[in-house]
């Protein structure tokens, strides 16, 4: 390429460019061959110690110029050993920070509450957990239209008929026995029947009372006045999720405390997360995550 540039003023650049083209054709052939192999090598999430050990090992191996550089090999070996010995535990349920998307983590699939989940976010979950299969929710049909008008003042409370139909649909879902899979009524709510830890996600906030009576965990993409139902159910609304970020939820099997939460953020004191605590309604910063939600965080403080 350099020779061709120097020969351009003389009009003799054709042969060097032709030879350069042969090299480019080889590069393209290699790229097409590798792309034709298909598949994706996904490593998934790594233990916390993996990154510092691997970085120290690579720095020593690449920057030192004497035999001392081989001192980086034990660090790389330790990073590999940590990965193989202590793989990160998978959460049982994943919740997005806007409350719109939730998924139950199965052995070979992610079962979500959306037929077509948001691609950017959902693919991150799939890569982190090395799960490629998506299982859409089991659909159920309501005779009533969705009660989510654009103008909040036009929102009508649930009628007795809508509430009665919701109870009937819930019974139908229980009889269908979907297992570890969401069952959804489009535009209204989704239900995940789990032993001692049923979960309900809401698109229509009017069903918050119904959800509190029939689930242990309620996830709503609207604002809720409560974070703890009178029944003892936990409510995660958009305000709480904005402070915590996306959540990984582990099922404990404990009847009193069936969920353990691992939030993306546990504090709003850092400069890059303080904006999450801001409320445009009151024009101030909130005090933080509600204590009844913080009480469900992992015991190690994560």
User: What is the pLDDT, as a whole number, of residue 195?
Assistant: 82
With cut-offs at 50, 70 and 90, classify the pLDDT of residue 152: low
Q: Where are the beta strands (DSSP E) in the chain?
A: 93-95, 102-105, 109-112, 133-135, 138-140, 183-185, 189-192, 199-202, 217-220, 234-236, 247-251, 259-263, 278-279, 284-285
Q: Which residues touch 263 (CB under 8 Å, ≥6 apart)? A: 244, 245, 246, 247, 289, 297
For the stretch 222-268, pLDDT in tens is: 988 888 899 889 999 988 888 888 999 999 888 888 999 988 876 65
Q: What separation, in Å, do the N-terminal and C-terminal C-alpha atoms of the chain show?
A: 54
33 Ramachandran zone, left/alpha/beta (phi>0; psi -120 to 50): alpha
Arithmetic mean of pLDDT over the chain? 87
Nearest of 150, 141, 162, 153 to residue 207 by alpha carbon? 162
* This prediction's pTM: 0.75
Give the per-residue pLDDT at 288.
Answer: 66
pLDDT for position 94: 95
Q: What is the tens place of the pLDDT at every residue in 191-211?
A: 999 887 899 999 999 999 999
The distance of Cα 271 from the centroid of its chain, to the nearest Å, equals: 23
Count CB atoms within 10 A of the CB of residue 215.
26
Provide the pLDDT for residue 297.
Answer: 80
C-alpha–C-alpha distance, residues 89 and 260, integer Å:
13
CA distances for 111 relative to 44, 177, 289, angstroms: 18, 15, 28
């Amino acid at each position: 390429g350099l020779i061709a540039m120097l020969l351009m003023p003389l009009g003799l650049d054709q042969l060097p460019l032709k030879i350069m083209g042969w090299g480019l054709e080889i590069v393209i052939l290699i790229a097409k061959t590798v792309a034709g192999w298909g598949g994706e090598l996904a490593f998934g999430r790594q233990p916390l110690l993996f990154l510092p050990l691997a970085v120290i090992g690579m720095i020593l191996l690449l920057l030192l110029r004497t035999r001392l550089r081989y001192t980086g090999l034990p660090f790389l070996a330790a990073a590999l050993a940590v990965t193989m010995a202590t793989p990160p535990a998978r959460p049982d349920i994943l919740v997005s920070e806007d409350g719109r998307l939730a998924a139950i983590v199965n052995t070979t699939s992610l079962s979500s509450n959306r037929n077509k989940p948001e691609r950017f976010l959902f693919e991150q979950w799939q890569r982190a957990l090395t799960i490629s299969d998506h299982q859409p929710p089991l659909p159920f049909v309501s005779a009533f239209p969705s009660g989510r008008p654009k103008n909040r003042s036009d929102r009508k409370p649930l009628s007795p008929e809508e509430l009665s139909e919701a109870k009937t649909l819930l019974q139908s879902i229980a009889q269908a026995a979907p297992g570890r899979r969401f069952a959804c009524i489009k535009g209204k709510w989704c239900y995940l029947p789990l032993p001692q830890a049923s979960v309900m996600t809401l698109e229509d906030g009017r069903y918050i009372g119904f959800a509190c009576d029939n689930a242990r965990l309620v996830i709503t993409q609207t604002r809720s006045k409560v974070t703890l139902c009178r029944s003892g159910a936990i409510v995660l609304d958009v305000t709480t999720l904005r402070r915590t970020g996306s959540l990984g939820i582990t099922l404990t099997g404990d009847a009193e405390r069936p969920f353990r939460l691992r939030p993306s953020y546990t504090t709003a004191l850092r400069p890059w997360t303080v904006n999450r605590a801001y409320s445009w309604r009151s024009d101030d910063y909130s005090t933080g995550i509600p204590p009844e939600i913080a009480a469900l965080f992992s015991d190690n403080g994560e």
